[in-house]
Structure 1
Amino acid sequence: MFNKVLVAEDLDSISMTVVQALKELSVTEIHHAKYCDDAFLKIKKALHDDVPFDLLISDLSFKQDHRENRFATGEELIEAIKKAQPNIKTIVFSIEDKSFRIKSLFNNSGINAYVSKGRNSIPQLKNAVQNIFNSDEKIISPELSHLLRDKSILEIEAYDISLLKLLSKGFILDEIALEFKKIGIIPNGSSSIEKRINKLKIYFKANNNVHLISIAKDLGLI
C-alpha cells in the first residue's frame, strides 16, 4: 500500500472522511492541505527532502477567500505537481461531471483515477486507491465509466485548452501566435491556430469566438 499520501481538500468534513478511509487501508503517513499552493509546497518540500509523496488525492474546486493563491483549481495544481513529480499517482475526488473536463484530466493531466463524490464515493475511493497501487489501470466511478468509452466526444488536447484560455482573455490571433512561440507550443503559426479555432467552432456549433468561449466555460474546459 502507499506509504505517503497528500489530500488536497478545502472542506474539513470531507478531508476527515478521506483520511479515515486511507487509515483503514493502512496508509502510514497522511498529509492534508486546504489550499492548492500549500499542497504544491508540501510536494516540493518532500521532493527536496528526498521523501516524496506516493499519491495525491485532490478536489477540483477550492473556495476562494481573502488569500491570494498561485493555483486556484485542482487542474492547475495537478498540472504543476506533474511537472515537478511526473510519476506521482493521482486521484481526483470531485462532484464535477462534465465529460470534456473529466476526459481532459485523463488525457492531458495524466490522472490515474476519477472518483465522483456521492453516496458510494468512499468505498469507490478506497477501491481506486487499491487498484492504482496494484496496476496502471485507469479508474473512474461506475456511473461515469461511459465517458472513457464514448468516441463521439472530441479529444480535447492541452493545445486546445491553452488556445481557449487565451481567447477568453481577449487575445487576438497574432497575439496567440506570439504567446505560443514564447512558451514553445506548436503549431504556433497564425494560419494553424486559425484553422484549429474554426475546427472547434464547427464541432461545438459556435457562431463566433465569443460563443465558443461561452460553450467552453459551460463545459468546464476553461
Structure 2
Amino acid sequence: MQPAYIQIHDQIKKDIDEKIWEIGKRLPSERDLAEQFGVSRMTLRQAVTLLVEEGVLERRIGSGTFVASTRVQEKMRGTTSFTEIIKAQGKIPSSDLISYRKTIPSQEEVDKLGISREETIIRMERVRYADQIPVVYEVASIPEKFIKNFKKEEITSHFFQTLQVHGYKIGKSQQTIYARLAKEKIAHYLQIKPKQAILGLTQISYFEDGTAFEYVKSQYVGERFEFYLENK
C-alpha cells in the first residue's frame, strides 16, 4: 500500500486534473486539508511539498498555496519581448516599475552595450507578471541616445513595440542562462522564499545592424517560466 502522503498527492492532483481545483485557486489551510484527509499536518505537508516541487502547486508568501498556472514558455530563438511571449500564450502581461533613472553606465554595461563611459543610459528595475502572478524580476539598461525622444510610458510598458513604431529594426539577441538562489529582496518581489532556486538570464538585444540597444539581467521563478530550445 502506498504511503499516506503519496495517496493525498495523487488525490489532489486528480482533483486538479478534473477541474475540482481550478488554476489559480487557493487551497484550504494545511490544518483544514489534514482534517479532510484524516492525517497529521506533517503528512499533509509532505504531499503539498511534493506537488510544489513538481510545479503543480505554488506557495505565495503571506497568501497561501495555490494551484499553479501552466508555465510560461519561451522558445529561445530570435528576439521576442516578454509582453509578446505572455500574450502569445493567452495570458495578460503587466509590470510593476520599481525604479527608473538616467545614470552613467557601469563597466559591465559599457562592455555589454558597446558604449563609452561618457554616454548615459536609462536603467529600469521592474517586476513582470502573467495574469497577475509575478514571473520575473529584471533590471534593463538602455543607451539613452536611442530613446531620448520617447515617453517614459512607451519604454516601461511596450519598449520593443515602441522601437518598431519609430522605425528601428530588431535583430538577434544573445542569452546566457544560469541557476542561482533568490536573495531576500528578489524573493520578496517574486513572492517566493529566500534562497529558493531560480533561473537567471542575461540578454543583450541588437538591432539588425548589430548595434546593442538593451542589456537585461533577469531572475525567473522556475515554477512559473521555462525556456526551451528548437533546432532546425
Give the TM-score, by structure 2 length.
0.23
| Higher helix residue share | 1
Q: Which structure has the bigger radius of gyration?
A: 2
Give the TM-score, by structure 1 length.
0.23
| Higher strand residue share | 2
**Which is bigger in relative contact order (C-alpha 8 A, separation at least 6)?**
2
